């Protein structure tokens, strides 16, 4: 029983560590995206995400933000 609790605690630690790393990378990508401003096409996606303000369209804002990050990393427009 104690071994299983230890394993669960370790797995939770690993997952939380991975989430922190992913969040840190996303922050870096967004910073790079904001630095490029309007000279790069993902800025249009970022504008879409910024203008989605209501609670109902929150998922749409996440969608546009994800598209902006993917297009910045791949240098292709979707």
Q: How many domains does the chain have?
A: 1
Q: Where are the alpha helices (DSSP H) in the chain?
A: 2-36, 42-51, 58-74
> Could you tell me the residue range of the domain that residue 48 belongs to?
2-74
pLDDT of 63 higher than 50: yes
Which of 21 and 1 is assigned the larger pLDDT?
21
How much is the pTM?
A: 0.40
How high is the pLDDT of residue 52?
Answer: 54
CA-wise closest residue to 66 among 18, 33, 20: 33
What is the distance between the alpha carbons of residues 78 and 76, in angstroms, rounded to a whole number? 7
Which of 36 and 52 is assigned the larger pLDDT?
36
How high is the pLDDT of residue 78?
Answer: 45
CA-wise closest residue to 30 among 66, 77, 78: 66
Report pLDDT digits (tens) over 6-51: 899 999 999 888 888 887 777 777 777 666 655 555 566 666 666 5
């Amino acid at each position: 029983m104690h071994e299983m609790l230890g394993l669960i605690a370790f797995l939770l630690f690993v997952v939380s560590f991975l989430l922190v790393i992913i969040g840190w990378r996303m922050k870096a990508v967004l910073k790079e995206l904001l630095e490029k401003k309007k000279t790069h096409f993902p800025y249009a996606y970022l504008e879409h995400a910024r203008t989605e303000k209501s609670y109902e369209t929150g998922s749409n804002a996440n969608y546009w933000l994800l598209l902006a990050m993917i297009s910045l990393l791949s240098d292709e427009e979707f």
